[in-house]
Amino acid sequence: MTSVVTLFWPGDHRARPNETARPSIEAATSQLERALRKLGRASRRIEGFITKPSEAITRLGPVDDPLIGVCVHWFYGPHTTDGVVGKDNPLLLASNFSGQWPGLVGLLNTGACLESLNRPFSRAWTSAEDWTEDEAFMARLDEWCRTGRTVYPESEVTAAAATRDTLAAEVLGGIRKRRVLALMLGDTSMGMINGYFGPRLLNPIGFTEHKIDQAWLVDRAPKVDAGRVEDAYRFVCSRGVTFHHGEGEAEDFGPEATKEQLRDYLAVLDLVREYEADCLGWQYQLGLIPLRPPSDFAEGLFNSVCRPEPDGEPIICATEADQGNLVPMELMKRLLKGKGLAPCVHFHDVRWGGEHGGRFVWVLLNSGSCSAYAFSHDVETLRGVHSYRQPAQYFPNAGGTFAGESLPGAVTWARAWLRGRDQRLVMDVGRGEVVKLPEAKRDAWWNGTTRQWPFMACDLGVTQETIMAHHMSNHVAVAYGDIHREMIALSQGLGFEVRVFGK
C-alpha cells in the first residue's frame, strides 16, 4: 500500500444534518490523521461532504490511493459506493462508536451496500476520546495500512447445519401454495441499496413485490372519509397511546397532525386490501416529506395486533422499504403465529451500545416501525406507546413517533442480505435477550441517541466486535420468543444460505 491515504466524508443528501454533524466529523478526522501519522502514514482530505452520487463519482472515482470514509453520522450508501465500485484500491470505513448521530449506523449500511456490489472494504471503529490510545483500533488501522484489509475472528458466526422442523415445513408449504405478496411504497430509502432485492431475488424465495407510487397518498389520503379518521383517533386514544402534543418545541404537533398520520394509515390499509397484499414496505421518501406527515406512527400500528380497523393480526411493515428486514419479519410472524406466540416483530436500527452487567448491550432504536407489543407484552392494547413529534431537523411536516421502552425477554433476531460475489441471499439468525436497564443508565443511553424513538436494550448473543465486523445491515428484525431453530429450517427450505450468530 502507498503511504498516502485519502480521507473523505460521506454525507447525507440534506445540508442540515451534515452541518449539525460537522464538529464531530472534524474532530474524528483530526483523530484519524493523528493515528495515521503515528503509524508513519501521510494523509490528505477531500474537502466537504459528498452529498450526491454524482459527487462520489467525480471526487472518489479518480482516486487510486487507499481511501478512508470517516463515519460519524447517518449518510447514504451511494455517496461512497458509486465512486468506488469497479476499483480495487483499499477502502476502510472508520467510525467513532457514538450513539449521538450516529456514524456506526452509516458504516453498517454502507458496508452492506458495498458487499451487495462485491466491492471489498474493511471496517474499524473506536469509542476512545484519543484514538491513538485505543490499542485494538490502532492494531486494526495498522493492519489495514500494511495489507489493505482488516480481518476479524469468525468464531461466533457459523454456517447453519441442515435443519428440519415440522412447523417450518408447514409454513413453507403455505408459502409454496400462495407466495407472499409485498406491497412496496417505494424502495432504496436514503441510499440503503443493500435492502432492495427485487423480483429476480424475491421470486425464488417465495416472495414477490408490487410497487405503488407514494404520489397516490397525496391523492388518496385527503379522500379518506373523515368519520373513519375520527374513529381511528378515538381508537388509539382509548387503547392507551400517550400523545405528547405541544410539548417543548413541538408547538405544531397536535391532534390534527396525528389525524393526518391516521389518514395515511387508512389510505395504505385500503391499498393493502385492494391488492390483497400480505406485508408492506414503506419508503422514507424525501420528496414526500413536505407534503405528508411522517409515516412512523402508521408503521407502528401496522406492526401491532391492536390497531384501527383490525383483522386480528399485524400487517408486517418494514420502514424505509427495507426488504432485508421485511422478508425475515414476515417469516418470523408466521412462525410465531404457528407456535402460538404473539405474532409481532420489531424493526430496529443497530444504533449504539455499551457494557452492562458484564456483557455488551445494544441500543436498538428506529424511528417508529416497532410493534406496540414490545411495550406491554399484551397484543390487545396500545398501552406503553408514546407519540412524540418527529425531530424537525429531519421532518419539517409535524407528525408523531410510535415510541416506548421494550420490556425484557428472550428474543430471536434475523436479517436477510445479498452476498455480492455470487448474488446469493443469506439469512442471519441469532438469539438474544432484551434487558431492563437501571433508570439512570436507560435515560442516559436513550437521551444520548434519539429520545423520541422506540428503545430496546438488547444483548444480541455475541460480542460487540462480531456485530460490528460481520453484521450486514444497519437494521435488524427482533421477535420475542424462541423460533431460532424454526427460522433456520424455514430459511433453508426457501433457499437461503443461513449464518448462525452465537452458539
pLDDT, tens digit, 9 for 90 and up, residues 289-345: 899 999 999 999 999 999 999 999 999 999 999 999 999 999 999 999 999 999 999
Last residue of a domain, one of 147, 174, 195: 147
In a domain, 384, yes or no: yes
- Residue-wise pLDDT for 402-432, tens only, equals 999 999 999 999 999 999 999 999 999 999 9
By percentage, how much of the chain surpasses pLDDT 70? 100
**Residue 316 DSSP SS3:** coil
Give the model's pLDDT for residue 368.
Answer: 78
Give the model's pLDDT for residue 285.
Answer: 85
Give the model's pLDDT for residue 286.
Answer: 85
- Residue-wise pLDDT for 22-65, tens only, equals 999 999 999 999 999 999 999 999 999 999 999 999 999 999 99
Structural domain span for residue 314: 166-214+263-501
Concatenate the DSSP letters of all residues of 70-95 into one string. Answer: EESS---THHHHHHHTT--S-EEEEE
Q: Hey, which residues does 282 pair with through a beta bridge?
A: 185, 319
Q: Return the closest-CA partner of residue 411 out of 384, 373, 444.
A: 373
Residue 100 confidence class, pLDDT cut points 50, 70, 90: confident
- The domain total for the chain is 2
Q: The C-alpha cell of 487 is what?
A: 427460522
**Are both 193 and 71 inside the same structural domain?**
no
Contact 399, 217 (CB under 8 A): no
In a domain, 297, yes or no: yes
**Residue 227 DSSP SS3:** helix
Kind and range of the H or E element at 336?
Answer: helix 323-338
**Are both 143 and 170 inside the same structural domain?**
no
Average pLDDT, the chain: 97
Q: The C-alpha cell of 339 is what?
A: 407456535
- Residue-wise pLDDT for 167-205, tens only, equals 999 999 999 999 999 999 998 888 999 999 999 999 999
Determine the average pLDDT of the residues in 486-492: 98
pTM over 0.95: yes
Q: Hey, which residues does 348 pair with through a beta bridge?
A: 476
In a domain, 226, yes or no: no
Cis before 102 (ω within 30): yes
**Count of CB atoms situated within 10 Å of the CB of 313:** 16
**Are both 482 and 339 inside the same structural domain?**
yes
**Are both 97 and 133 inside the same structural domain?**
yes
Q: Tell me the one-letter amino acid at 65.
A: D
Give the model's pLDDT for residue 394.
Answer: 87
**Are both 81 and 173 inside the same structural domain?**
no
DSSP 8-class letter at 160:
P
In a domain, 252, yes or no: no
Residue 287 confidence class, pLDDT cut points 50, 70, 90: confident
**Are both 126 and 184 inside the same structural domain?**
no
In a domain, 245, yes or no: no
**Are both 297 and 430 inside the same structural domain?**
yes
Q: How far apart are the first and last CA of the chain?
A: 37
Give the model's pLDDT for residue 67.
Answer: 98
**Are both 280 and 179 inside the same structural domain?**
yes
Give the model's pLDDT for residue 365.
Answer: 95
Q: Return the closest-CA partner of residue 31 out of 143, 144, 137, 121.
A: 137
Residue 449 confidence class, pLDDT cut points 50, 70, 90: very high
**Residue 503 DSSP SS3:** coil
Give the model's pLDDT for residue 479.
Answer: 98
- Residue-wise pLDDT for 192-245, tens only, equals 999 999 999 999 999 999 999 999 999 999 999 999 999 999 999 999 999 999
**Are both 78 and 205 inside the same structural domain?**
no
Give the model's pLDDT for residue 296.
Answer: 96
Residue 155, judged by CB atoms within 10 A of its CB (0-12, 13-18, 19+), counts as exposed
**Are both 332 and 412 inside the same structural domain?**
yes
The CATH number of whichever domain residue 20 belongs to comes to 3.40.50.10940
Give the model's pLDDT for residue 227.
Answer: 98
Contact 285, 243 (CB under 8 A): no
Give the model's pLDDT for residue 503.
Answer: 79
In a domain, 123, yes or no: yes
By percentage, how much of the chain surpasses pLDDT 90? 95
In a domain, 374, yes or no: yes
In a domain, 227, yes or no: no
Tell whether the model's pLDDT for residue 369 goes beyond 90. no
Between strands 409-419 and 4-10, the pairing is unpaired
**Are both 27 and 70 inside the same structural domain?**
yes
Last residue of a domain, one of 117, 147, 177: 147
Q: Return the closest-CA partner of residue 334 out of 296, 377, 279.
A: 279
Residue 393 confidence class, pLDDT cut points 50, 70, 90: confident
Concatenate the DSSP letters of all residues of 91-151 into one string. Answer: EEEEEE--SSS-HHHHHHHHHHHHHHTT---EEEEE--SSGGG-HHHHHHHHHHHHHS---
**Are both 394 and 304 inside the same structural domain?**
yes
The CATH number of whichever domain residue 352 belongs to comes to 3.20.14.10
Determine the average pLDDT of the residues in 474-495: 98
Question: Dihedral (C-alpha) 177, 179, 180, 186: value to the nearest 10 degrees?
Answer: -170
The whole-angstrom separation of Cα 32 and Cα 138 is 10
